[in-house]
Amino acid sequence: MHGTSTLEEADRLMTVCNSCRYCEGLCAVFPAMEMRRAFSDGDLNYFANLCHACGACYTDCQFSPPHEYNVNVPKTLAVARAESWAAYAWPRSLSGLFTNNGLVISIIAALSVAAFIFALAALNDRQAMVGIHTGPGAFYALMPHGAMAALFGAAFLYAIVALAMGVRAFWRDIGEPIGMLADPPSLWQAIKDAAELRYLDGGGVGCVNEDERPTDRRKIYHHLTFYGFLLCFAATCVATLYHYLLAREAPYPLWDLPVVLGTSGGIGLLIGPAGLLLEKSKRDPVLVDEKRTGMDVAFTLMLFLTSLTGIVLLLLRETSAMGPLLALHLGVVFSLFITMPYGKFVHGLYRFVALVRYARERRMTAGTV
Ligand code: SF4
Ligand code: SF4
């Protein structure tokens, strides 16, 4: 007996697949499944988070509908995956945020933007809000650096703690001692697999869309999004070092490292999420967990808006639009931070951790551990 009907169905499918084994070359899920004869809840959640939702095993399956076995591994694992994220949420009382997630994130984003516009308008007189501010420290003429750092530092720290607690719950659920996460060869293998999205290629042919023709576009857009996000994060880190180590205040010239990194990442975060949304609209509906479409779209849109508001702020920072644009950008980034542990962002962390476990299992099977 499993904890949910989704896990019951996942167990049924994995039992069929374990007899069939036709898809064992497609991704990591099937080899991981073949290492077992029975599946605990934790095993099924591990498979669900190891799945990259490429769709190849549905297209290739001789038992997919209308066959009476009704095998649809991508969709069942997608539902199990989303349910596992809610179960691992910290604090548990907020796991409900994964329900109607698109609406929840939209409301939080709207409130956050409104709060920043209100706060900046209240802190400054009208002249300052729509005035022209240039040179180092221009942003801090509207919101003191200390207040900005304290607010965003607290939001970021909260997100890190909540995400770490979620990973801890996942790792416990799949039955591994926490120390195993510090296995350097497995960590390195997982970093390589995640960096190249090795299992999003349907066994080498590409990700499957509505016309059942595999393509690599989803992988390309995902790379643009992921590396765009990392570049923006690097820009923030460099800017922080500039501020505290070199006493150099933002905004920085266009040629300076934080702006170059942020602009490059921002372009990736415009094209990548837009492409992912386009590819999502073309996805075969039988592969999609339609109840979580709002969650996927909301997170992708938040990344897009973070980049869009940042780039528009960069372009118009020496005009009278800077004040309202700064409030808009800060509001979007703040809501992105505080909603990170309760939306699609978590997929990257849990998938990485599942890849670490898979790499370790492979090493144990090969006798190298
Ligand atoms: S998805 Fe279908 S073809 Fe693939 S292993 Fe399972 S039962 Fe076999
Ligand atoms: S959808 Fe792709 S990644 Fe997921 S189990 Fe099937 S083949 Fe593997």
pLDDT for position 1: 85
Per-residue pLDDT at 279 exceeds 70: yes
Write out the two tokens for 190.
Answer: 């997982």
Per-residue pLDDT at 181 exceeds 80: no
Average pLDDT, stretch 285-290?
90
pLDDT for position 209: 65
How far is 177 from 172, CA to CA, in rounded Å? 7
Per-residue pLDDT at 112 exceeds 70: yes
- Contact residues for 146 (Cβ-Cβ < 8 A; gap 6+): none
Per-residue pLDDT at 202 exceeds 90: no
Give the mutation target among 24, 43, 73 for probing the ligand 2 site: most ligand atoms within 8 A of CB. 73
What is the CB neighbour count within 10 angstroms for residue 181? Answer: 17
Prediction pTM value = 0.93
How far is 78 from 48, CA to CA, in rounded Å? 7
pLDDT for position 203: 67
Confidence of residue 118 (pLDDT cuts 50, 70, 90): very high
Average pLDDT, stretch 36-59?
95
CB 118 less than 6 A from any atom of ligand 1 = no
CB 162 less than 6 A from any atom of ligand 1 = no
How far is 312 from 361, CA to CA, in rounded Å? 47
Per-residue pLDDT at 122 exceeds 80: yes
Write out the two tokens for 302.
Answer: 């938040």
pLDDT for position 87: 96
CB 33 less than 6 A from any atom of ligand 2 = no
pLDDT digits (tens, 9 = 90+) for 57-111: 999 999 999 999 999 999 999 999 999 999 999 999 999 999 889 999 999 999 9
CB 27 less than 6 A from any atom of ligand 1 = no
Q: Which atom of ligand 1 is nearest to the CA of 58?
A: 1
**From atom 4 of ligand 1, which residue's Cα is the shortest distance away?**
23
Per-residue pLDDT at 208 exceeds 80: no
CA–centroid distance, 122 to ligand 2, in Å, is: 52
**From atom 5 of ligand 2, which residue's Cα is the shortest distance away?**
51
pLDDT for position 213: 66
CB 74 less than 6 A from any atom of ligand 2 = yes
Beta bridge partners of 215: 207
Q: Smallest Cα–Cα separation from 278: which of 302, 308, 300, 311?
A: 300
Average pLDDT over the chain reads 93
pLDDT for position 258: 97
**From atom 2 of ligand 2, which residue's Cα is the shortest distance away?**
54
Per-residue pLDDT at 206 exceeds 70: no
The backbone region for 55, taken as left when phi is positive above 0, alpha when psi lies in -120 to 50, beta otherwise, is left
Per-residue pLDDT at 127 exceeds 90: no
The CA angle 135-136-137, to the nearest 5 degrees, is: 115
CA–centroid distance, 289 to ligand 1, in Å, is: 19
Write out the two tokens for 218.
Answer: 């989803």
Only one residue has tokens 């460099």, namely 238
Give the mutation target among 13, 16, 29, 75 for probing the ligand 1 site: most ligand atoms within 8 A of CB. 16
CA–centroid distance, 21 to ligand 1, in Å, is: 6
Per-residue pLDDT at 34 exceeds 90: yes
Average pLDDT, stretch 211-222?
81
CB 119 less than 6 A from any atom of ligand 1 = no
pLDDT for position 212: 64
